[in-house]
Amino acid sequence: MRAIFSADEGGFDADEYAVVCWVAGDGHYLTFQRDAEGSAGGWGIYLEYDDQANGGYECVAACRLGPRSLSVDLAQPRNDRMVNVTGFDVALRLAPGQWAAVRDGLRRIFRGYPDVLVEAEPGVATDGGA
């Protein structure tokens, strides 16, 4: 089963400690977090859905981004409440500046993971045209 929602907000923040990229809407959110670029530590990629209890490190198997959609496949279930959730499909309704921030943010989050983030060409949906 995949969790599905629409996002009309999104963005990216960075400071000396972490980089955070997010999308939200319809009462749901996804955040991607990682240690700051150039930091000595290596937390890995942290994904959270709707609540900190639904978060964890190194659980993203694939992330596909297009101008109208974001699709995330999970490598493992996050917890007992989400044991049947295999991923997320998010219809994006973002303003151009927000979409650019999410795209650039995900590129920075997935640095060093070249096979995990896949970007569709502009105008090409990653979800079959929805």
The per-residue pLDDT for 112 is 87
Q: What is the mean pLDDT of residues 88-109?
A: 96
More confidently predicted of 122 and 118: 118
| Separation between Cα atoms, residue 55 and residue 48, nearest integer Å | 4
pTM > 0.75? yes
| Separation between Cα atoms, residue 75 and residue 51, nearest integer Å | 19
Q: What is the mean pLDDT of residues 46-59?
A: 91
Distances (CA, A) of 56 to 8, 43, 53, 84, 115: 24, 11, 8, 16, 20
Residue 53: pLDDT above 50? Answer: yes
**C-beta of residue 48 within 8 angstroms of C-beta of residue 31:** yes
Binned at pLDDT 50, 70 and 90, residue 120 comes out as confident
The per-residue pLDDT for 82 is 72
